Structure 1
């Protein structure tokens, strides 16, 4: 396994490379042996002994354990002139896998007292996140990197030095501190208790994380899972993350490829899941296509419980997707299943008979852990739990109680009142914008319906397959591009409008208050006696002219200037004529122009 190097210096001395972030749902762990009495070779041998001790623990506790994706692993590597063990595990949706690794490393630290262990995930120092309510004020995410270690079954924190500026440590700095002053890392009992509270049920929690169910499966699928039960994780994941290509591969008439695991020849077998895997498979809504739907109907008519029949069909489809989709071709379970299929084809192995399958142990666990008593759940949220479990799962119940306990402790803390809770915030964390009414939009607190609609849409989106998400993303990108094109078009229209406005201004068409005299009887509202405008003037009781004059002046001048601009076009196309056409007004040729051209109204052309 390749790991990112921490000693990159690409752009000159002092540059340690770009910040590296772990992928989501991945936990990484490193182990050092720190003992000044050991030579380099002895340190390496000590780390190899640590590896063997881990293998012993796995054999003792993980005989039937199913990892969601990757198992715990330790690789001996050399970095920065020292030997260390490094491992990385993708735990997917199973947080239990992550805490199992913490448990193993903590247990091994009792045997290897010279081992110093760091464990972190994409959230950073997740052990401190668990202990957030008990941390000293100085220990925040900005300074915690490389300060949190497990040693001798304890959680130790490297505190700030006397004159040290609050900042994270480099790994080399942390190791130098541990080697030079091993007593400096501090043990905070309250922090440790909170950080490790999820380990209270171990090692019993390892077996409690499993779930068994008896399901109808095709004989070939039952044979594969009987040989290696952990394949169930890859099968469920292939079904859970199915995309349109996967569904197409279930239909030979479309994929033009025969099914490796056709939905036929069903037998009842006991399947071992983790609780996460079982819940993932059970909760999926799916309409099976073609022969899969027919097989489901046949199973139901034969008396199989509909829920169990659906689970069996989903598993059958999942292993077909796993073995035939190119996306999973390089996965270890896929390669191993392919080898087992080759043995069946070559005659090196045979499918089990009904008698053999009947001899296999069958086990069906209670599914009460899937149920929630909402009345008790609400009591737990209110901190009034009466001892009755809201969940069938004791671990989930304990985690809920812990969460409520922390929240209540925070509220009850005198130091985190109005001054503490609000005063300790970074200024950038405060919403000091103007009120919603002043901004001209609705207050978010009053838009519950819109938020609920968004939350429902988001919940639906995160359950989609990767391919479906990619399709929606592409559609959103196309929509954004279309909106950008529309905006560019609007900008172009605005430019043309500005040009037309400038042209009209140049002809005086938009000059509503021209500074020139106008003789009586001339213009749009004039008459022979020059009283057209005067007749509309009104004087208020105090002898002052009313606003009607201003309105009339604007209308008069706009119309007058528009006519003049049209006349200046001399019968040619121009902005004034175009604008009036857009408003549905068709001007005749000016009378003065008609006279000059030798025509008169109603007479046509002169001879």
Structure 2
């Protein structure tokens, strides 16, 4: 793996094929650390990289003592690739983009201490640092050719520019490292681009603590013990609840007489739980109607006679955390998850008596903290002012989100004011003339636009539809976070219900077609059978009507004319059903099954015993 950013420049066999393009999964950031010093031996290079790892560990202890990662933490592995020692790692940051930028901050800070280090950071979008600096990039630099051209060295951002004779294209990792080593002029710091690319790091390291949120919640004593032992377990517990499926929900309901819950919702105590802001918002925004013991526990927590009183919102959050912990340790898909294994070991120690649950007096000595939740609130009018570029009040909510929004608005306005910019970002980048909405030659072209007659009607309809959309969007944005999440969950449940109903209809349709084919093969659905020729005959058929004993029905076959006048569809269906049953020769079949469902049991066919 050469560490290049995702690319589509695949060459086929015979054209210099060098392997299939490697794409990172969504929400994954990857990073590479190299030592470039020709004076160092191979062993010395390895020692420098190990020193880099140790310094990273020290930096984490300094700044990340209480930090909670959304999914995975930063991790660097010493590897040897293409006869070169380097550090490489990747982190799945889930929904927490703050984790991705924390990794950028840590690596950039370390690069200031190690002057011989060159490193790069990229994700599934490629060189995401350049995305932040899109408005100040040189015109030659595009996503198609930026692979392995963006590096961080001594805390500065470097871009490897192609020479005047070089064809712009993405570089392989070894090509980039060779260019840095042999042609230092190729790699030049880019102060203007650097300022834009690293603007999200301006609040660090203070932003690390600001990404946390503390809340005091009622939790089962077992859950409180687990989270006190390792507060980071809150991340997998919340995410397990957030990604719950029908199997997970079934695990929350023990069978009758089976007390198999690992974390039964009982013996509640109040403790302070540390979240990331993303985790807290995910938990708060989930709509869930608990059932069974979980519903009973929720009702008990918010009962007016309970002391101390618990707000319904806090009680619901505590129930969600406990349910997420239960799903985490019991669902098979999480069996290999590190957190699930460690929590199960803690539970085994409790069961064996090697550990005991904390008492009320011990829990009372644990520190408690309740953070303000105003960062969750967004004033819609202030949001509109920010979009217009005229914000400035304190009613927006989260300051980091406010700054990012302002930056986005600035970039958008700069793009709109750029006279050279167009749909591609710069004028003249190969748009087909037919792709341009330009009717300036309508008088000279000599032919009529076939869609011109409908333009007015279509435009009116589109305007009305867009107005409805704007109205609905404005109403949606004015809702609270919890209300938005509830509407989203309702839409998701409705979609699932409709999908399940469609699947059920398809199954019924398939079964009906199979039954119809089987009945046709026996002639049971032929309501107009061919007329019988020859002499008229009489046949007596006996059958058993359940609960009423035997009855005899006289079936008289006459000539064709008399039969046409006498027989109706009901008789034909009955006769064909009897013929279909006879065709089963005593074995199971559609006719016997259908009559059995209607409570009618056929006797053995007397013709089978006639000799």
Structure-1-length-normalised TM-score: 0.72
Q: Which residue of 1 aligns with 2:106?
A: 104
Cα 1:273/1:423, change in 2 over 3 Å: same
Q: Deviations over 1:78-99 (max 9, x none)?
A: 1111111000000000000000
Distance in 2 (CA, whole Å) between partners of 1:104 and 1:403 is: 24
Among 439, 445, 448, the residue aligned to 2:466 = 448
Name 1:579's counterpart in structure 2.
Answer: none
> How far apart in 1 are the matches of 2:16 and 2:367?
62
Does the aligned pair in 2 maintain the 1:158–1:186 contact within 8 Å?
yes
Identify the match of residue 44 of structure 1 among 39, 43, 46: 46
Distance 1:480 1:383, change over 3 A: farther
**CA apart distance, 1:478:** 9.2
Q: Describe how 1:318-337 pairs up with structure 2 within 5 A.
A: 318-337=324-343
Instruction: Give matches, 1:129-528, under 5 Å.
Output: 129-253=131-255, 258-301=260-303, 302=306, 303-385=309-391, 387-416=392-421, 423-424=428-429, 426-427=431-432, 430=435, 442=458, 446-448=464-466
**Conserved? CA contact 1:76–1:86, under 8 Å:** yes
Structure 1 gaps of 5+ residues are 485-607
State the Cα distance separating 1:439 from its structure 2 match.
Answer: 8.2
Q: 1:411 to 1:13 in 2, by over 3 A?
A: closer
Moved more, 305-314 or 179-188: 179-188
Offset from partner CA, 1:303-343 (integer Å, 9 cap, x none): 31111011001111110111111111110000000000011
Provide TM-score, normalisation by structure 2: 0.72
Q: Report the secondary structure of 1:272's partner residue.
A: strand
Q: Deviations over 1:221-256 (max 9, x none)?
A: 000000000000000000000001111111113896
* Change over 3 Å in CA distance of 1:355–1:132 after alignment to 2: same
Residue segments in structure 2 that go unaligned for 5+ positions in a row: 5-9, 439-448, 477-483, 511-611
Alignment of 1:33-112 (within 5 A): 33-112=35-114
Quote the Cα distance in structure 2 between the aligned partners of 1:465 and 1:51: 47
Asked if the contact 2:237–2:324 (Cα under 8 Å) also holds between the matched residues in 1, the reply is yes
**Cα separation, 1, equivalents of 2:31 and 2:354:** 42
Aligned equivalents of 1:84 and 1:234: distance in 2? 31
Q: What secondary structure, in the 3-state scheme, does the structure 2 residue paired with 1:194 have? A: helix
* Aligned alpha-carbon RMSD (Å): 3.5
SS at match of 1:252: coil
Go from structure 1 to structure 2 and tell me whether the alpha carbon gap of 1:372 and 1:12 turns closer, same or farther (over 3 Å shift). Answer: same
**CA deviation map 1:52-85 (0-9, x unaligned):** 1110100100000000000000000111111110
Residues 420, 292 of structure 1: CA spacing in aligned structure 2 closer, same or farther, 3 A cutoff? closer
Quote the Cα distance in structure 1 between the aligned partners of 2:351 and 2:226.
Answer: 14
Deviation (angstroms), 1:409: 1.9
- Separation in 1, partners of 2:503, 2:141: 42
Could you say which residue in structure 2 is the equivalent of 1:128? 130
SS in 2 for 1:408: helix
| C-alpha displacement of 1:347 | 0.4
Moved more, 413-422 or 272-281: 413-422
User: 2: distance between equivalents of 1:479 and 1:331?
Assistant: 38
1:362 match: secondary structure: coil
SS across alignment from 1:86: strand
1:329–1:412: structure 2 CA closer, same or farther, 3 Å change rule?
Answer: same
Q: How many residues align?
A: 479
Give the match's secondary structure for 1:230: helix
Change (3 A) 1:40 1:70: same
Instruction: Specify the SS of the correspondent of 1:202.
Output: coil
1:243–1:466 Cα contact (<8 Å) kept: no
* CA positional deviation for 1:469: 8.9
Map Cα deviations across residues 338-362 of structure 1 (whole Å, 9 max, x no partner): 0000110010100000000000000
**For 1:179 and 1:79, how far apart are their aligned partners in 2?**
17
Note the alpha carbon deviations across 1:501-557, whole angstroms, 9 max, x for none: xxxxxxxxxxxxxxxxxxxxxxxxxxxxxxxxxxxxxxxxxxxxxxxxxxxxxxxxx
